Structure formats: C-alpha cells, structure tokens
Amino acid sequence: MKKSIIKFLYIFLLGSIMISCDKDSPSDELTIYSAMINEVEFVEDMEDIALEGTVKMAFSHNINAEAFENAFSFSNSQGEAQYEISFQNAGSKAIISYSDLNPNTVYSLNLNAGPIGGNGESLETPFMKEFTATEEGTETKTPCTSGNGDCMEEIEISENSLFKFYSSYDIISNPEFIWENIEEVIFVVHGQNRNADEYFEYMSNSVGDINRRENILIISPFFKSESDAEPDELFWGNNWREGGNSDNSETSISSFSVFDNLIEYLTNQDKFPNLQKINFAGHSSGAAMVQHYAFANISESNNSEYEFSYLVANNQYFYYPDDRRYNENTQEFFTPTDCDGFNNWPYGYNFSPSYLEGMTPEDLLQQQISRNTIYLLGTEDTATEGTLNTTDCEATLLGSNRLERGRNIFRYFETFYPENNHQKIEIENIGHDANAIFNSEEFKALFVSN
C-alpha cells in the first residue's frame, strides 16, 4: 500500500513538474521588444528625421532573414527607399541602414504580421510607422487637419476687408517662413450650406490617404453670410457661387477676386519657390463656382508658368457659351424658344457680373475651351427632389438631374469644340455626396505623385 502511494505521489509530482516546465517553455508568438530610429524610440508621425541613419528592432526570438526581408518595406509615395538589412545578437536584432531619403517627405516603415521567426514564430501584430525626413537644420511644419479655429487664416483683400479660410499651413500668420515643401495647392469650395470646415476635413483626409499632406496645401475658403460675418469681414448672399459682389455697405468685392488675391499671394516665388500646380475642387454649389471661375478668371492667364485645373463635382448650374442646349428625349441639340432669360448669367453671358467687365463672350469661350476642366459625376446623383432646381426653365434646359447636366455640358463641348481641354470622370455608386467624391479612388488618383 505504501509503495502504491509513493508511486502515485511520484507520478503526480513528475506531471506537475512537466506542466510547470511546459508553461515556461518558449512561446510560438514573436514580439518586438524595442524599436529605435537613430537611437531614439521609434513612435508614430516623427519629424526632423535625418536623411541617413539606422532603424534597430529587437525581437523576443531570432529572426529568419529571408522571411523578414519579404515582410519588410520602407517607402514613400514614389517607391522604395534605399536601405540594407543586417542582423545582430544571434539574429534577434534587425538593423536597417538607410540613406538618400528625400527631404520634407513622409516615409512609411512596415513589417507585416506573420511567421518570421527562426523557428516559425509568428509576429501577431504588424509594425507600421510613418515619419518625415528632413535635412539637418531645416525647419519643418506639421499640417493642420482639423476644421476648427486652429486651422483658420485670414487675408486682407482691401483696406478693412478681411476674408477667412481654413488652411493646412499658417501661410498668412507666419509671413517669414519659406514654404519649400509645397508643390500644389487645392482650393476646396463648399456648397450652399457654407460648411467650409467639413470640406476642409474631407480634403485633408483624401490628401492624407495618398501621403501628400506635406506638399499639398489645402485651402477651404469660407464665403460667409451676413449673419456669420464679423466686423470688417466680407459676406455674400447666394451670389458668391457666381462671382457676385459682396454685400458689404462700404466694400463690394467679387467672390472671384478673393481667389485672385489668394493666387497672387501664392505665386510669390520667394515664399513658395516650388509651387507648380493650382487646383480648384468644388461640389454642388461649390462646383458651380469652380465651373464659372474656370473660364472667367484672369489669374491663369497672368500666371502661365503654373499648371491650373478645375474639378467640377455634381454641379447643376452650368454656363453655356451660346444658345444651344441638349434635348435628352430627341438626343439632339436645339435652340430654346419658350424660355426667356435662358442665356442670363449664370446660364449664359447676359447680365454677367462686374468681374467680367471688358471680357467678350468670345474671350470667355476661348478660355472655356482651353482650360483644364474635369467633370466629376456620381452615377447615383439622379434625384429630382430636394435642392435640384426643377422649376426654372433656365435650369431644366440643362438636363433632368445633376448627372445628366454634367454629361450634357461635356457632350456639348465634345460635339462643337472637340479640341477642348475637358475630361469627364463618372464615379460609380456615389450620389450627391462631397465626402464620397473627394475620397473616391478616382479623385485621389488625380493627385498621386508620378
């Protein structure tokens, strides 16, 4: 009996020891003990990182070199960076030596999850970090991305006439800074709700997705109503989208002139030495403004060294340079005879705003043909209720809904002026939605660096 008890205790103790040893045995999970870049802890969104240096990653187990290299990437929006990988500490520390990074550029360093350990141990959580490379001694700026007062700037259009806008950089309030990193600007124009803050965030998210916040300046102008304006601020009725003059009692300034003033500021090459492209993007009422400013403005002609583009998303009010309109039923162009005023501004040249003084219809036609205009059309923007104008004959002559009105203006120029510089991009499964348009793959593809 004693022998049986002793034997039982022996087996029990042996099993306990084995279980205990099993709990302390090496895990199949691989962890990263530490990650350093140039001898400091590697955290998200670091700035002022040297153009040449090292990244050191320490692991809980030794690493399979081939598996690590297949899971690792180090790149910017234009492709892979230059780097070499080596291993220390019996293969448990990876050393990435990099060089020749581009200054003022965002880089991404990624290590995908998966079995990269020497004995098949698996990294369960991917390692992903972004940082900005900077030349030593060069001051950098962090882009502002929130539609609040922190991102608000103001410019004086004339004496005691201020105009406010959201901006991803403090281009006005920091007048001494040289904006060497800015290569493009996007003016994103709000709709009839005048929600410039939301439009600013829509565009910031879009530009962030393609890793270009560092070199694309985002400006979201705020065309305020009288009730929202502060003393000395410009304000407009609904005519802001048509280039109309402000309603201030002492100052009358076209909304188009606001753009001209901002462009004049941005084309100062001492401040913005690397700016190359000036883009306008508007949705709905903002698109009407962009479509009209595209052919009416004087800034593009005065700054021929810059590349301009105008992105007109889900617009319902188009300017036609002559009497012809498209009949969707007969699929032919015709001249209306039962709609007085169908050629009045903003549908045509008659009664055009004072901004166009001195310009003839032929002047505007040539500019409309030649300027880089892109119609962005959501294929689901076909509603005929809500804010779509279906009562005024001037509007209904343009088409049955916003999608068809965009198709019709493009068809007009393809038919009568095939040498035009226009494009049409239809975006599937999107309705009257500015955020969806500006964050679509089709829109973002227009701004990916080549």
> How many domains would you assign to the chain?
2
Query: Do residues 271 and 338 share a domain?
Result: yes
* Whether pLDDT at 18 is above 60: no
| Closest to 310 measured CA to CA, from 262, 369, 387 | 369
Residue-level pLDDT at 139 = 61
Which residue type does 100 have? D
- For helices 285-296 and 255-266, the axis angle rounded to 10 degrees is 70
CATH of the domain at 390: 3.40.50.1820
Residue-level pLDDT at 135 = 73
Residue-level pLDDT at 34 = 84
Alpha-carbon dihedral 337, 345, 220, 209, rounded to 10 degrees: 30
Mean pLDDT of the chain: 91
Query: Do residues 105 and 201 share a domain?
Result: no
- Give a yes or no: residue 14 inside a domain: no
> Looking at residues 95-109, what average pLDDT do you find?
92
Query: Do residues 199 and 273 share a domain?
Result: yes
Query: Do residues 257 and 199 share a domain?
Result: yes
Residue-level pLDDT at 22 = 39
- Containing structural domain, residue 256: 149-445
Residue-level pLDDT at 335 = 98
Residue-level pLDDT at 136 = 62
| Closest to 316 measured CA to CA, from 248, 245, 258, 383 | 383
- Give a yes or no: residue 5 inside a domain: no
- Give a yes or no: residue 297 inside a domain: yes
Query: Do residues 119 and 177 share a domain?
Result: no
Q: Which helix (H) or strand (E) holds 403?
A: helix 402-416
Query: Do residues 186 and 300 share a domain?
Result: yes
User: Which tokens in the block code for residue 157?
Assistant: 């259009």
- For helices 361-370 and 285-296, the axis angle rounded to 10 degrees is 110
Query: Do residues 91 and 208 share a domain?
Result: no
Contact 388, 401 (CB under 8 A): yes
Helices (H) and strands (E) in the chain, counts: 11, 23
Contact 246, 256 (CB under 8 A): no
* Each residue's pLDDT tens digit, 47-97: 889 898 889 898 988 999 999 999 999 999 989 999 999 988 778 889 999
* Each residue's pLDDT tens digit, 143-186: 999 998 889 999 999 888 999 999 999 999 998 899 999 999 99
Query: Do residues 107 and 173 share a domain?
Result: no
CATH of the domain at 123: 2.60.40.3710
- Give a yes or no: residue 85 inside a domain: yes
* Whether pLDDT at 450 is above 60: no
Of 70, 103, 133, the residue at which a domain comes to its end is: 133
pLDDT band at 6 (very low <50, low <70, confident <90, very high): very low
Alpha-carbon dihedral 293, 296, 299, 302, rounded to 10 degrees: 160
- Give a yes or no: residue 138 inside a domain: no
> Looking at residues 127-140, what average pLDDT do you find?
78
Residue-level pLDDT at 19 = 37
User: Which tokens in the block code for residue 66?
Assistant: 């081939």
> Looking at residues 427-437, what average pLDDT do you find?
98
C-alpha–C-alpha distance, residues 308 and 74, integer Å: 33
In the chain, pLDDT over 70 holds for what percent of residues? 92
C-alpha–C-alpha distance, residues 414 and 417, integer Å: 6
* Whether pLDDT at 195 is above 90: yes
CA 251-255-256 angle, to 5 degrees, is 125
Of 133, 159, 186, the residue at which a domain comes to its end is: 133
Query: Do residues 405 and 380 share a domain?
Result: yes
- Give a yes or no: residue 219 inside a domain: yes
Tell me the pTM.
0.72
Query: Do residues 198 and 71 share a domain?
Result: no
The strand pair at 161-167 and 216-221 is best described as antiparallel
How far is CA 414 from each of CA 310, 371, 411, 419, 423, rounded to the nearest angstrom?
Answer: 17, 14, 5, 8, 10
* Each residue's pLDDT tens digit, 275-287: 999 999 999 999 9
- Give a yes or no: residue 10 inside a domain: no
Strands in 114-115's sheet, in edge-to-edge order, are 29-30, 122-123, 114-115
Residue-level pLDDT at 28 = 78
| Closest to 373 measured CA to CA, from 406, 332, 327, 416 | 406
Query: Do residues 105 and 75 share a domain?
Result: yes
- Give a yes or no: residue 352 inside a domain: yes
Higher pLDDT, 136 or 103: 103
C-alpha–C-alpha distance, residues 333 and 335, integer Å: 7
Residue-level pLDDT at 23 = 36
pLDDT band at 27 (very low <50, low <70, confident <90, very high): low
* Whether pLDDT at 298 is above 50: yes
> Looking at residues 334-353, what average pLDDT do you find?
97
Query: Do residues 72 and 188 share a domain?
Result: no
Residue-level pLDDT at 113 = 93
Encode 93-121: b = buried (16+ Cβ within 10 Å), e = exposed: bbebebeebeebbbbebebeeeebbbeeb
Burial of 338 (0-12, 13-18, 19+ CB in 10 A): exposed
Lowest mean pLDDT among 12-16, 193-197, 198-202: 12-16
Of 105, 133, 161, the residue at which a domain comes to its end is: 133
**Who's near 418: CB < 8 A, 6+ residues apart?**
none
